Amino acid sequence: MADVAIVGTGHSKFGARTDVNLQELAWETVRQALEEANLEQQDIDMFVVGNAGGWSSEPLSAIVIGEYCNLAPKGTMRVEAACATGSAALRIAYQAIKSGEAKIAMVIGAEQMHQSPHPLAIEMMRRAGNYFWEFENFGLTFPGYYALYATRYMAKYGMKEEDLGQIAVKNHYYGSFNPYATFQKPIKIEEYLKSKIIASPLKVYDACPITDGAAAVILASEEVAKRITDTPVWIVSQGFASGTANLSKRDDFVSIDAARVAAEEAYKRAKINREESWKYIDVAEVHDCFTIAEIMAYEDLGFANRGEGYILAREGQTYIGGRIPVNADGGLKAKGHPIGATGVSMAVSLTRQLQQRAPKGTQATINNGYALAHNMGGTGHYAYVTIYSLKKPSA
């Protein structure tokens, strides 16, 4: 089984990208990745497009993007796993190289949510839960789903709204340094506390924005990677899991079980002890679609004990220089969350972190050479945890 490395990365500006169409947006990242890897389109054996679909006008996004980016007639597909779409697309390309079916594969994540009117975009996200039970009967929105998590967590563990606010403050702080981020202005805790409630206890500053954006990575086998670059970033392991469609069938509302299962699988394959994972991982990207999601991720990943994730936020332990830097690119909260691109964007950020070329003000200290991406879909319906390293997995 071949080892697989990232050898090229590309990233667009996130935000309201109505200045381009979907294929032009994707090309911004494809061009970057090809130039970085010193490759041409004909060198790519296959390409996979992560696009959740429904927001933009192109239903056959992989074909349209492939044609525009001159990647045809290489084989392709569109992959969808809700908000974890980008990581699912990465998995397809990763497995193709690992099995020997391809030597070089490109992963493109792209989404243009602003092509849909705002009310329609909100409805599309609402439908990502259990349609007939939660959407039709109770009218749950996505802020409503995560408000349930936050309310239960506060009641059980004593977390305060100020603790949620610390996540927003941190991620906006790092977003202010990231030229690709949607929001590039820091906020103060006072601004957070005064912001409008959207689903109590969650406020405007607790939620990620509707976003357009794209990201791309080029994966290669060991043989090719060593020929292309002196600093390959290896995919050490990837764990993935699923949860129930209906939230009422879950055991508790202070954790996302699928994330815990995916993390355990990834750690096992990487030979990392979950309880000491924060000692190995130099920097992490976690799925902070809402601030409470980041706090639960700390615990599901083993960065903190159950019920103590908010303490990491309160003490500033997830800033650079703390116990474990998390979302040093601004995360979904400030960088943005273009559904199909998010998982690929995480891969780009972490690759550049490990290669120590993150934007000024966002570079973590790389000691052990490990980075982790935690990418969720829906309200815990899909979970992908990917571990990257400067060290070759089989070394």
Annotated catalytic sites, by residue?
83, 337
Q: 250: which DSSP letter?
A: S
* Sequential DSSP letters for 380-393: TTEEEEEEEESS-T
Closest CA to 184 of 173, 170, 199, 194: 173
Scanning the structure block, which residue is given the tokens 């079916």?
Answer: 101
The beta-strand segments (E) located in 116-232 are: 197-199, 202-203, 212-221
Strands 75-79 and 46-50: parallel
Alpha helices by DSSP H, listed for 239-329, are 257-270, 277-280, 291-300, 309-314
CA distance 386 to 240: 9
CA distance 124 to 299: 29
Q: Which residues pair with 76 in a beta bridge?
A: 47
